[in-house]
Amino acid sequence: MTLDDALYPPIETLQNGRMKVGALHDLYWETCGNPQGIPVLFLHGGPGAGLSPNSRRFFDPQKYHIVLLDQRGAGRSTPLGETRENTTQLLIEDIEQLRARLGVERWLVFGGSWGSTLSLAYAQAHPERCLGLVLRGIWLVSQAEINWWLYGIRNFFPREWEAFAGHLTEHERHDLLGAYSRRLESSDPEIYLPAARAWSRYEGSCLHLLPNPQTADAFTQDAVALGVGRLEAHYFRHGAFLQEGQLLRDMARIAHLPGFIVHGRYDVICPVRYAHAVADAWPGVDLRIIEDAGHSSYEPGIAAALVDATKRFARDGHFQQR
């Protein structure tokens, strides 16, 4: 099975626009599909990765009213890579502002990786606005997960980690996050752009079960690297502006909502144990482990499972466990 076999055909936008939030940020949003269909919100990963045309293709355009948003500092939102006035709580406010702007009462929330983090945080803050959640590549922003990303992935991708750490001087490598943060927050593009490319290439090189050089190359493009590098380091440094263990602690707030989680068995970006932790705290959730996949939502097995989930929700209003 190829990715095109798993996803719906390319979908054109119906509407797009910009939404001013605060003094600094101007956000890009778009809709596609059926305006009378089931509202669904797509939350991209990163933080900072932004949308792509493929983001629309997990949903039947006849059944869903698909809403997509480039979060603060990401994609076509401006300023790209801006970390000021950029917190999880403000992103949640942005989602609510967009929901009200579009006249959506309740929607299905769909997010992977950092998008799963933001989906959980949003749903726990506004459970009354959610029809359910479809999540991929669970990330709970614990210190253990951050440390794993910075240092543990080298056990599986040693050369990629060496290139990542090698961007820094040897005496800085005991504190990769601090050293990268200093470079990424520099005002000098000759300092921050190479750091952003090195950070982003590291992540892009580790996303797939099998090597995918095209993804790694795409992550080094400045339009992607600056958002991913700056915003990931910013959110890592602040624990995503959440209390340690907050998302698991507050699972009771959304326990009544239907949920679906898909996670690659060999996901080294977001280890699978955290998907099990969320499932253990969420009675009735449908957890699907894909045995031949890593992290990316564009690995065929993961994409097929996500599409299956949206099909079942459109048909039944929930996710029937098999």
Active site residue 296: no
Distances 196 to 167, 193, 314 between C-alpha atoms, Å: 10, 5, 39
Please say if the pLDDT value at position 204 is more than 60. yes
Instruction: Specify the pairing of strand 107-112 against strand 130-136.
Output: parallel
pLDDT digits (tens, 9 = 90+) for 92-101: 999 999 999 9
Please say if the pLDDT value at position 322 is more than 60. no
Q: What local confidence, expressed as pLDDT, does residue 199 receive?
A: 98
Retrieve residue 235's tokens. 């959110």
Catalytic residue (choose from 113, 181, 205, 296):
113
Please give the angle made by the CA atoms of 29, 31 and 32, to the nearest 5 degrees. Answer: 150
Retrieve residue 6's tokens. 């798993």
Active site residue 113: yes
pLDDT digits (tens, 9 = 90+) for 273-300: 999 999 999 998 999 999 999 999 999 9
Total residue length of the chain: 322
Please say if the pLDDT value at position 156 is more than 90. yes
Catalytic residue (choose from 250, 267, 286, 296):
267
CATH architecture of 3-142+241-316: 3-Layer(aba) Sandwich (3.40)
Q: What local confidence, expressed as pLDDT, does residue 159 receive?
A: 97
Q: What local confidence, expressed as pLDDT, does residue 117 receive?
A: 98
Residue 264 pairs in a beta bridge with 290
Please, what is the average pLDDT of the chain? 96
Task: Return the domain boundaries, the chain.
Answer: 3-142+241-316, 143-239
pLDDT digits (tens, 9 = 90+) for 225-239: 999 999 999 999 999
What confidence category does residue 197 fall into, taking pLDDT thresholds of 50, 70 and 90? very high
Q: Please answer whether residues 65 and 167 qualify as being in contact, where contact means their C-beta atoms are separated by less than 8 angstroms.
A: no
Distances 98 to 104, 121, 125, 130, 311 between C-alpha atoms, Å: 9, 16, 16, 14, 25
| % of the chain beyond a pLDDT of 70 | 99
| Non-local CB neighbours of 93 within 8 Å, separated by 6+ positions | 21
Active site residue 238: no
Give the mean pLDDT of 101-113: 98
pLDDT digits (tens, 9 = 90+) for 33-52: 999 999 999 999 999 999 99
Catalytic residue (choose from 77, 295, 296, 297):
295
Report the C-alpha gap between 220 and 194 in whole angstroms: 9
- Confidence (pTM): 0.97
Please say if the pLDDT value at position 320 is more than 70. no
Please say if the pLDDT value at position 1 is more than 90. no
Please say if the pLDDT value at position 321 is more than 80. no
What confidence category does residue 262 fall into, taking pLDDT thresholds of 50, 70 and 90? very high
Q: Please answer whether residues 233 and 184 qualify as being in contact, where contact means their C-beta atoms are separated by less than 8 angstroms.
A: yes
Q: Which amino acid type is present at position 184?
A: L
Retrieve residue 115's tokens. 């998008």
Helix (H, G, I), strand (E, B) or coil at 137: coil
Q: Which amino acid type is present at position 200?
A: S
